[in-house]
Each structure stands twice: as C-alpha cells, then as structure tokens.
Amino acid sequence: MAKILRAIRGMHDLLPEQMGRWHWVEDSARRLLESYGYEEIRTPLLEPTELFQRSIGEVTDIVEKEMYSFQDRNGELLSLRPEGTASCVRAAIEHNLLDRPQRLWYRGPMFRRERPQKGRYRQFHQIGAEVFGLAGPDIDQELILLTHRLWKILGLSGLRLAINSLGDAEDRHRYREALVQYLEARQDMLDEDSRRRLATNPLRILDSKNPDMQALIAEAPSILDFLGKEAQEHFSQLCEGLGNAGIAFRVNPRLVRGLDYYNRTVFEWITDALGAQGTLCAGGRYDGLVEQLGGRSVPAVGFALGLERLVALLESLPAQAAPALDAYLVAVGERAQAAALVLAEQLRDQSPDLRLCCHCGGGSFKSQFKKADRSGARYALILGEEELERGVMGIKPLRDQGPQIEKPLASVVDFLLAARTADPTE
C-alpha cells in the first residue's frame, strides 16, 4: 500500500462538519465590519521577507525564528505572511490609498512556526482591521467598541480587555533607558533569553512568560510614568471614552505586544477559557510604520483576532448546521438518468436560491433513494421514464411519512421553496 501522507504539524484541515460554525463567525464579523464602513482588502500570502523584517522588527520572535522563508528561483527571499498588518501597509502605499482616511479589513491564513499546542498553530486564521489617516483616540475607541459588539453578537461573555500606552518614540526611548538601567542592576535574576534581549529589545522582557521573572517584571518601572504630554492625553481620552461607552477595561503597564511597530495605544481581549493561549484579539496604534515602509507619515491603528481561538470558544454553543438541501434528485432508467442533469439545471434556472443535489453515479432506485435519505434533503425528486414522458416529477418527503405526490416540472421549485417557509428549522 502506498504511504499515507498527513498534514504538516500545526496545520489543520477544516472539515465539512466544522464549517457551519466557521461561516457563522466569519459572516458575522464581515457584516459587522461592513456596517461600520470598513472595506475588504486581500493581499498575497507570500511577501518579500524584508517587508516583515522592516515592520514586525528584526529582534522579535516572529522574525527571528517563526517565519516560513525560502529563496525563490530568482534568488529573492520570500516569506509566508505571519500577520496581516505589514501587507496592508505595503498595499496601501503601493496603490496610493493613503491620500484619504481608509478603514480596511481582511481575513485569511497566517503562518508562524511556533511550537504547536492548543490554540497555537503554524497555520492559523485571522480577521483583522487596519485604519489609516486618523490620529485621534476616537478611532482607537471605535475599534475596541466594534470588537466588543462582535463578542455580543456571537454570545460571548467573560472576555477581559487590557489596554496600555507605549507612548511616542521619544517617550519609549527614555523608558527603554530606565528599564535597561533597572534590569542591568539585576542581571543575575534574568533568564538567558532576557539577558540577550537586554541589549537588543529590552521592552520584550516585560512580555516574558517565565514564572521566575514575574516578580522582577512587576517591580520594573512603568511606561505610563514616561509618557509625554500628547501621548498621555491620547491615552486618558481613550480611557474616558471607553468608560463613557460602558466598556470595562484594565490598564496593564506591562502590556508591550510581540511586534515592534506599535506606539501609543495597545490592547488585548483575553479569555480564561482557552488555557495558556488566552489572547483572542489584539491590536494597537502604529503611527510610524507607513513612513518606515517608504510612504509618507500617516497615522494608523488596527487589530486582528484569531479565528481558531474564537471558534474554540464558541464550541460550547449550539452548532450552526449548514442549511439543508431542498431536494435530492433520483433518476431511474437509462433515459431518465441521461436527462437528469439537464432537468436539474432547468430547476436551478427557476431560482438561484434552490438547494438541489442531483444523483450521479447510477445505481438501482433503492440505492439512490438511500443516498437521498442520507443527504439530509427535505424531499426526494423522483424521475422515471414515465415521469420524463409526461413532464412531471415525483416528490417524496424524506423527513416525515407523507405520501409521494407529483408536480409538473414548472411548479416543482415553487413547491420546494414554499415547503421551506413552513419548516421551523429554516
């Protein structure tokens, strides 16, 4: 027997039985984003590696060790996108979208070679939004309100919102110096990773999950004591706005995020229901990134949520079954079988909404009827030589014991659609 191949570790198939819930989540998010005036953008899965090096940052876990990168045949270094923000910025610059404010959203697979565990995968899916050209705290607030509304629509409760401000570049520079001074004085308490980061990216030390480091981190200087006047005002207006909107939040001065492009507002929605991988949605402001990637100076802010984590949270809610088929067409006899696909097309012409599966692969009436039964369809449409002759179809209910009836071809679709309205599960 030939060797069976399996999906790559950390990359998963989504099977038909899971898709109902995925579609429900994706459709709810899409409708919500569009209702707030966000427009969809799709960018390639592959980008020049340099895009992520220059945006996410050279000294981050993602760029240092988690990207799927390879050399193309022409020598160009390419990477599968580990996130969507950098690609959105690249596309917005490339297509001159930045001469007016833009509210964009996207969804799709992202790739990070992390150690797989529950809620952490090597291919995962995000829905995200990026806003360009708006500098005030009002748009930060809008993004948080939008995500909060999504949780409400999906029936999720118990999510906690953590926010922080990373200040502006000068604020962060002064904070970095103070932090390094504090940590250098306590070098012996640092783990190996943090000792390395002390010289390259000390703020990331605050994000360490090592339990032995937590006391040291808790006592470290707070970035909020280093904010300049403007960043401070921006942050307090955001906090006030969230309070006015009735959104509960906690200010966490250790929230630094794992990507380097952020400034001022950062936020995370966190759940306790998913174990270690509790961050469901995360984002923040990145006012310097457009310029850093060659555009003019345009403020920006956004978020992304992890679909696998969101769907896992919803697993306790009732499954959203895909809508049932209206009918399964069974054809008996050579001539009827030859005509079945054409007649099915004629029925579909009558309503683009019709959900009809036409039997393929021949077989006896009995075996076809069994398949009709298993398809979950509401009715079997029966086409024999005699029905074909007279321009009619037999209609046999599959969900109850009702009698088989007969309808002229022209009224089969009306009959099926009317039956849908009478069905309480529709």
State which residue has the least CB distance to ligand HAM: 306
Residue 280 interacting with ligand HAM (CB under 6 A)? yes
Give all strands (DSSP E) within 218-278, no chain letters: 250-251, 263-270
Q: Which is nearer to ligand HAM, 44 or 391 (CB)?
A: 44
Neighbouring CB atoms inside 10 A of 268's CB total 21
Among the residue ranges 116-124, 151-159, 164-172, 358-366, the one whose residues contact ligand HAM (CB under 6 A):
116-124
Element (H or E) spanning 232, and its range?
helix 229-244
Residue 283 interacting with ligand HAM (CB under 6 A)? yes
Among the listed residues 105, 124, 226, 235, the single contact to ligand HAM using CB under 6 A: 124
Among the listed residues 60, 102, 126, 194, the single contact to ligand HAM using CB under 6 A: 126
Burial of 373 by CB count in 10 Å (0-12 exposed, 13-18 middle, 19+ buried)?
Answer: middle
Q: How far is CA 57 from CA 64, 284, 398, 422, in A?
A: 9, 16, 59, 58
Question: Rounded distance, CA 66 to CA 131, Å?
Answer: 26
The secondary structure of residue 54, as a DSSP letter, is: H
Q: Which is nearer to ligand HAM, 114 or 385 (CB)?
A: 114
User: Considering the complex, what minimum distance in angstroms separates the CB of residue 66 from ligand HAM?
Assistant: 8
Residue 255 interacting with ligand HAM (CB under 6 A)? no
Rg of the Cα trace of the chain?
28
User: Considering the complex, what minimum distance in angstroms separates the CB of residue 308 from ligand HAM?
Assistant: 5
Among the listed residues 302, 337, 354, 380, the single contact to ligand HAM using CB under 6 A: 302
Residue 288 interacting with ligand HAM (CB under 6 A)? no
User: Phi, psi (5° rounding) for residue 96?
Assistant: 50, 45
In this structure, are residues 242 and 144 in contact, taking their beta carbons and an 8 Å threshold? yes
Question: Rounded distance, CA 410 to CA 340, Å?
Answer: 15
Among the listed residues 163, 183, 281, 325, the single contact to ligand HAM using CB under 6 A: 281
User: Considering the complex, what minimum distance in angstroms separates the CB of residue 164 from ligand HAM?
Assistant: 13
- If DSSP codes are grouped into helix, strand and coil, which group holds residue 358? strand
Residue 394 interacting with ligand HAM (CB under 6 A)? no
Among the residue ranges 119-127, 227-235, 245-253, 407-415, the one whose residues contact ligand HAM (CB under 6 A):
119-127
Residue 299 interacting with ligand HAM (CB under 6 A)? no
In this structure, are residues 83 and 90 in contact, taking their beta carbons and an 8 Å threshold? no
Torsion, Cα of 271, 287, 122, 194 (10° steps): -80
Neighbouring CB atoms inside 10 A of 233's CB total 12
Residue 263 interacting with ligand HAM (CB under 6 A)? no
Residue 54 interacting with ligand HAM (CB under 6 A)? no
Question: Rounded distance, CA 294 to CA 297, Å?
Answer: 9
Classify the C-alpha dihedral 117-118-124-129 as positive or negative: negative
Among the residue ranges 43-51, 246-254, 282-290, 404-412, the one whose residues contact ligand HAM (CB under 6 A):
282-290
Among the listed residues 309, 355, 359, 378, the single contact to ligand HAM using CB under 6 A: 309
- If DSSP codes are grouped into helix, strand and coil, which group holds residue 383? strand
Residue 61 interacting with ligand HAM (CB under 6 A)? no
Residue 25 interacting with ligand HAM (CB under 6 A)? no
Residue 130 interacting with ligand HAM (CB under 6 A)? yes
Among the residue ranges 14-22, 167-175, 277-285, 289-297, the one whose residues contact ligand HAM (CB under 6 A):
277-285
Among the listed residues 57, 128, 241, 299, the single contact to ligand HAM using CB under 6 A: 128
Among the listed residues 284, 288, 299, 394, the single contact to ligand HAM using CB under 6 A: 284
Among the listed residues 120, 197, 264, 355, the single contact to ligand HAM using CB under 6 A: 120
User: Considering the complex, what minimum distance in angstroms separates the CB of residue 397 from ligand HAM?
Assistant: 44
Give all strands (DSSP E) within 67-166, no chain letters: 69-71, 77-80, 102-111, 123-132, 160-165
Q: Which of 238, 225, 229, 249 is nearest to 301 (CA)?
A: 238
Residue 308 interacting with ligand HAM (CB under 6 A)? yes
Footprint on this chain of ligand HAM (rule: CB under 6 A): 83-85, 112, 114, 120-121, 124, 126, 128, 130, 258-259, 279-284, 302-306, 308-309
